A and B are shown apart, each in its own frame.
Chain A
Amino acid sequence: MIDLDANATTPLSPQARAAITAAMALELGNPSSLHARGQAARALLEQARKAVLTSVGGAGGKIVFTSGATEANALAWHGVLTAPWTPLPVRIVTSAVEHPSIGALVKALRLRGVEIVEVPVDAAGQLDGAAYAAALQQPTTLVSLMAVQNELGGIYPIADLAARAHAVGAVFHCDATQAPGRVALDLNALGVDLASLSAHKAGGPAGIGALWLRRGQRLQPLVAGHQEDGLRGGTENLLGAIGMAAAFGMLPERLAAMPRLRQLRDHLWQGLQATGQVARNGDVPPHLETGHVLNVAWAGVDGARLVRALDLEHVCVSSGAACASGTQEPSHVLLACGQTAMQARGGLRFSLGPQTTLGEIDRVIQLLPSLLPRVRGPHLRQL
């Protein structure tokens, strides 16, 4: 199996596996319990919290463990918007290319009358700076923008965006899900107020993530309870937190692998160009993208169909749009880039991980010319 879908999830790192396995043998208690087992669990949990905090340059701030970045996004939004100290009416500025978990919040809040501005992007998926400035002309409660675009690999200038949001008094939330291990992440230096993190995009287990809060940032909890300083109720996912801490301990190593992944990605793109009639989505100068993502579309090829064809050849990629439940909407990111629904259905995303080898990339380059003629075949939906 060749896994080129690192932006969907990454294999559990040996460090995370070892840490979780070791912790499972310890017969740990509930971190809230007063007895020895509880205290041991609490000690491990706080160690994990500190390790995660440090690994993302967040010292001085606070890590609130959640079930993942989706929950962290929801906690950040609701935590700011529903707080009794937040003046009404609230107004939000976000972008048109955020993760669907943000898209779902936008949809739900708009139904309740909340004003939300989605900053557009250019054809390559980069934020429209002028539109962002215009959006901030009016009083704004919350700005929420992602650090690394999950479908295209584009990097957004979070430090600058956050500074401009602060200049108008808005709270700045950054969905940093795809950032750890892909870009050097220093949350304090970025100047954001809130940042969503996920373990499984960087070698940790799925089911654990965190919301980081800048020192002094207040928040209304989404799930009531005394845990996590009253910011997230429910007995803590200790094994998850341990796995996340162990994985995030390896972020420097993952980051060190990025230049190699960029070389492999460029090699892949070069090889694929030889197949003809192929265009790259999100093609921006190297400093504006992570280097581990290649989003391409072949003329007349349905991206989801090509995902299936590659899967049958034991290659895992993503079409950024397909959902296992059987509804296949065109990628909202490619639509936001100005593509037609048909073009947006063509997008195919390769995302490389530290385990990716040159041999795997060469195998994919060799495979595609044999698949393309038949996947180009008729497709009633596009007629």
Chain B
Amino acid sequence: MRATFALMTLCALPQTPRPWTDLLAEAGDTRAPAEVVAEMRAVMRLPVGARVAVAMSGGVDSSAVAALLVEAGYEVFGLTARLYDVDPAMIGRAGTCCAPEDARDARSVAWSLGIRHYTLDEREVFARAVIDRFVADYDRGDTPNPCVECNRTLKFEVLVQEARALGAQALATGHYACLDLDADGQPELRRGADPQKDQSYFLHPLTADVGAFVRFPLGSWHKTQVRGHAARLGVPTAEKRESMDVCFVAASTPRDFVAGQRGARPGAIVDLAGTQLGRHAGIAGFAVGQRHGLGLPPQKPEASPLFVVDKRPDGTIVVGPHEALRATRVQLRNLSWIGAPPAVGTELGLQVRHRGKPVAARIQESADGVVTLTVLGELFAAGRGQSGVLYDGDRVLGGGIIAAATQVSGETEAVA
């Protein structure tokens, strides 16, 4: 296999701008390849030669994982899900993921590594599980997080099922999060070591069963190290740009994308008392906590700034002062725990946005899939539809979708 693809490797390899030794030196990574191999084997918990699948997006992280696992002696194959048909205007645009050209990148990386690679046609599943839900959620005033749904459905169901069907012992991805087994043999998801890259927030839909099958080999790595080792192993995309946007709207904005699917839904902008202050072109263009770009007439200088505090299903946007963004009670739906559910009364950290800080909260009620939390710390702008992820220190216990974030003062509740 390797010999067959040697020619392609030669063709595919760009000139590395900087030698990998420089990259590793800059990253402060002094590990010898043998140490990296030992670390990979420890993370994988599988004997050398075991068959493992790698979810390959075409980007540097998952490509590096594939290369590192090949180096560690596993029988690696790559899986890439084709998720949607690309708008011709988007072709060539950086910052996308899982578009046909990314699948081609993944395939060429796989070829250069001498491993097999398969592209799965999952456009139907993605449209149903991610895009339709994204549009419907935005349309009713939520601010959905499609990356979480993609992880839940595409990564943790479709790719896991495919990997198992193809006889893989594990599915590895390039996510920056730590996934190990605890003393009881239960999956334990923790924050990635690189605070700039930590993706644990997006991975909360992990279940115990899937958690025991999936591996995140880069959890203890910093991005700079990944780039260095990718270059060391000749991964052609080692200098590729990061993907950041919501992939399928990358050429557009959520507002235009949702408007394209459902028609623009303009509506009123009102204050907390219900007085109309202005109009807007569509609620998908706004997020709870947003202060700028409301298009309202200028306020008096002494007035306190206005923020979006709610997006109502009827299309009305409510604005109010910063204090109105405060939430003291948060209800999460579609909640799943990675391990055993913690008891009512347990105190934990609630994080409501990627790169946010967890805020102390206490479990007030916990039923099947729904948890109500009393916020103990200061929590502002918890938007409906975003994920609420529950941490114990840096360990992810579980998470769900924010169904309601309210201010409770005594017996009265104000919308926030």
Contact = CB atoms under 8 A, between A and B. Distances in A.
Interface of A: 304-305, 308-309, 311-312, 324-328, 371, 374-375, 377-381
Contact of B121 (A309, A328, A377): A328
B120 A326 contact: yes
A325 B158 contact: no
B118 A308 contact: yes
A356 to B, nearest CB: 21
Given A325-B100, A326-B80, A326-B103, A377 B161 contact: yes
B242 interface: no
Contact of A305 (B124, B129, B165): B165
Contacts of B166: 305, 308-309, 312, 374-375
Given A312-B167, A326-B82, A381-B124, A305 B119 contact: no
16 contacts: A308-B118, A309-B167, A311-B116, A312-B77, A312-B166, A312-B167, A326-B80, A326-B82, A326-B103, A327-B121, A375-B165, A379-B161, A380-B125, A380-B129, A380-B153, A380-B158
A374 B168 CA distance: 10
Interface in B117-166: 118-125, 129, 153, 157-158, 161-162, 164-166
B124 A374 contact: no
Nearest to A375: B165
Nearest to B85: A327
B51 A312 contact: yes
Given A309-B166, A374-B164, 11 more contacts: A308-B118, A312-B167, A326-B100, A326-B121, A328-B121, A378-B161, A379-B165, A380-B122, A380-B125, A380-B158, A381-B122
A324 B100 CA distance: 11
Nearest to A305: B165
Q: Return the 3 tightest CB-CB contacts between A and B, nearest first.
A: A326-B119, A326-B82, A328-B121
A331 to B, nearest CB: 14
**Binding site secondary structure of chain A:** helix
Contacts of B122: 380-381
Nearest to A378: B161
A374 B153 CA distance: 20
B167 A327 contact: no
A308 B116 CA distance: 9
Interface in B66-81: 77, 80
A379 B167 CA distance: 15
Interface in B144-199: 153, 157-158, 161-162, 164-167
Given A326-B80, A380-B157, A305 B116 contact: no
Interface residues of B, number: 27
Contacts of B164: 374, 377
Nearest to B124: A381
Contacts of B120: 326, 328
Contacts of A378: 157, 161
Contact of B161 (A312, A327, A380): A380
Interface core residue of B51, B100, B118, B124 (most chain A CB under 10 Å): B118
Nearest to B103: A326
A309 B82 CA distance: 19
B297 to A, nearest CB: 49
B167 A305 contact: no
Contacts of B100: 325-326
Contacts of B157: 378, 380
Nearest to A374: B165
Contacts of B104: 325
Nearest to B158: A380
A62 B327 CA distance: 83
A327 B82 contact: yes
B291 to A, nearest CB: 40
Contacts of A305: 162, 165-166
A371 B167 CA distance: 8
Contacts of B119: 324-326
Contacts of A328: 120-121
B74 to A, nearest CB: 13
Nearest to A302: B165
Interface core residue of B104, B116, B122, B162 (most chain A CB under 10 Å): B162
A381 B124 CA distance: 7
Interface in B48-102: 51, 77, 80, 82, 100
Contacts of A326: 80, 82, 100, 103, 119-121
Contacts of A379: 161, 165
B315 to A, nearest CB: 33
Nearest to B79: A308
A324 B103 CA distance: 10
B239 to A, nearest CB: 24
Nearest to B118: A308
A320 B383 CA distance: 47
Contacts of B116: 311-312
Interface string B310-354: 000000000000000000000000000000000000000000000
Contacts of A304: 121
Contacts of A325: 82, 100, 103-104, 119
Nearest to B75: A312
A381 B161 contact: no
Interface core residue of B103, B157, B167 (most chain A CB under 10 Å): B167
B75 to A, nearest CB: 8
